[in-house]
């Protein structure tokens, strides 16, 4: 008992000691390649990465009072930025204001950027290389003409505005919005609304358990769209004259489609789903939607 109380007291004193000091202002800079790799690790607070036209990496901001320092290392091809924190912080909630370190990082626009956080918001802007964001609890926002974008989060909203040829989002809980992607988009989530507005999409995969799904924008002449939802409605707002084949299936929901108006629902033998299949003149763009209890609606773009 005495040993347990002693350990608890020591932990409390360590936490108090770590948060008792003053916040620290930091600003550091080093040369970097125009197309190098930059990694940023800040567990608590926020990270904002912006591309610029200079061949340098600049990091500035405020470190939490109890943070152990800022690691800023690497060479011209690779740069590592990390806020060092006491191990005890990782066992606390991590949401206390005293834990928050705020970083603003400027990188050559052509850099490939990787951001990792625990309880922190992450933003990446104006980067034309690849972008990777990983967070446990915190919003992630990417607004960059990146080559590829990948975001992994447990809890927190995800917003991607990018012309990237490949976008991947994995989420447990939180709203997901993707806008402007030009090639392939893959979204996997458990809970949270999903919205995808493509710009010539050739491949789209959305899997969700609960959370309304909204799909729109433009599509390539050939490709595949696959949407699976368990209990939430799925709506596709399609441009006029889209040539595609459709395969819509639901167990307990309703199917409403202006492109398949008048086509009767069918039920395959040994299949529990009701199905609506039709074509608007092309078999090279395939659009498939499957739900258990959610309604499926296909309407013209702009129609609510």
Please state the length of the chain: 304
- Centroid of chain to Cα 100: 22
pLDDT score for 190 = 95
Statement to judge: residues 192 and 296 lie in one domain:
yes
9 lies in a domain?
A: no
Q: What predicted TM-score, i.e. pTM, was given to this entire model?
A: 0.88
Statement to judge: residues 179 and 120 lie in one domain:
no
What backbone phi and psi angles, to 5 degrees, belong to 90? -70, -15
pLDDT score for 66 = 86
| Integer Cα distance of 269 and 81 in angstroms | 59
Statement to judge: residues 141 and 189 lie in one domain:
no
17 lies in a domain?
A: no
Which residues span the domain enclosing 293? Answer: 165-304
Over its length of 304 residues, how does the chain's per-residue pLDDT go in tens digits?
Answer: 444 444 443 444 444 444 445 789 999 999 999 999 999 999 999 999 999 999 999 999 999 998 999 999 999 999 999 999 888 877 665 556 788 999 999 999 999 999 999 999 999 999 999 999 999 999 999 999 999 999 999 999 999 999 999 999 999 999 999 999 999 999 999 999 999 999 999 999 999 999 999 999 999 999 999 999 999 999 999 998 899 999 999 998 999 988 877 777 777 666 778 899 999 988 899 999 999 999 999 988 765 5
> Which of 115, 145, 175 represents a domain boundary (last residue)?
145
pLDDT score for 297 = 95
> Which of 145, 179, 205 represents a domain boundary (last residue)?
145
Statement to judge: residues 174 and 294 lie in one domain:
yes
pLDDT score for 89 = 77
Statement to judge: residues 60 and 92 lie in one domain:
yes
How many C-beta atoms lie closer than 10 Å to residue 292's C-beta?
Answer: 17
Residue with tokens 């609960």: 210
| Dihedral, CA of residue 174, residue 175, residue 176 and residue 180, to nearest 10 | -150
Statement to judge: residues 177 and 121 lie in one domain:
no
3-class DSSP state for residue 90? helix
Residue with tokens 């595609």: 244
8-state DSSP, 21:
S
7 lies in a domain?
A: no
pLDDT score for 4 = 43
156 lies in a domain?
A: no
Token pair listed for 19: 């948060």
1 lies in a domain?
A: no
Q: Which residues of 75-100 are buried (b: 16+ CB within 10 A; e: fewer)?
A: eeeebebbbebbeebeeeebeeebbb
Statement to judge: residues 81 and 46 lie in one domain:
yes
* 25-29 own/partner pairs: CB under 8 Å, 24+ apart: 25/60, 25/61, 25/62, 25/63, 26/59, 26/60, 26/61, 26/62, 26/63, 26/70, 27/58, 27/59, 27/60, 28/58, 28/59, 28/60, 28/70, 28/72, 29/56, 29/57, 29/58, 29/59
77 lies in a domain?
A: yes
Statement to judge: residues 196 and 82 lie in one domain:
no
Statement to judge: residues 107 and 234 lie in one domain:
no
Statement to judge: residues 200 and 292 lie in one domain:
yes
169 lies in a domain?
A: yes
pLDDT score for 32 = 97
Statement to judge: residues 37 and 137 lie in one domain:
yes
> Which of 145, 180, 202 represents a domain boundary (last residue)?
145
What's the number of domains the chain is made of?
2
Statement to judge: residues 179 and 254 lie in one domain:
yes
2 lies in a domain?
A: no
């Amino acid at each position: 008992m005495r040993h347990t109380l002693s350990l608890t007291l020591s932990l409390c004193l360590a936490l108090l000691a770590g948060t008792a000091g003053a916040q620290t202002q930091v600003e550091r800079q080093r040369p970097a390649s125009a197309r190098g790799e930059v990694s940023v690790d800040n567990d608590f607070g926020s990270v904002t990465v912006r591309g610029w036209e200079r061949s340098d990496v600049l990091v500035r901001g405020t470190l939490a009072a109890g943070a152990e320092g800022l690691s800023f290392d690497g060479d011209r091809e690779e740069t590592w930025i990390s806020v060092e924190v006491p191990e005890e912080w990782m066992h606390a909630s991590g949401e206390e204001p005293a834990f928050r370190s705020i970083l603003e990082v400027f990188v050559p626009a052509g850099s490939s950027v990787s951001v990792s956080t625990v309880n922190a918001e992450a933003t990446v802007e104006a980067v034309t290389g690849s972008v990777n964001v990983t967070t446990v609890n915190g919003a992630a926002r990417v607004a960059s003409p990146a080559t590829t974008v990948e975001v992994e989060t447990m809890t927190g909203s995800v917003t991607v505005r990018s012309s990237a040829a490949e976008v991947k989002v994995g989420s447990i809980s939180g709203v997901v919005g993707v806008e402007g992607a030009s090639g392939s988009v893959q979204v996997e989530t458990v809970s949270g609304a999903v919205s995808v507005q493509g710009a010539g999409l050739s491949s789209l995969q959305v899997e969700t358990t609960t959370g309304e799904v909204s799909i729109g924008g433009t599509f390539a002449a050939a490709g595949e769209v696959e949407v699976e939802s368990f209990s939430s409605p799925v709506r596709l707002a399609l441009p006029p004259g889209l040539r595609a084949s459709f395969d819509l299936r639901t167990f307990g929901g309703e199917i409403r489609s202006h492109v398949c108006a008048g086509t009767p629902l069918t039920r395959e033998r040994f299949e529990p789903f009701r199905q609506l299949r039709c074509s608007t003149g092309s078999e090279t763009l395939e659009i498939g939607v499957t739900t258990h209890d959610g309604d499926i609606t296909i309407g013209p773009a702009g129609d609510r």
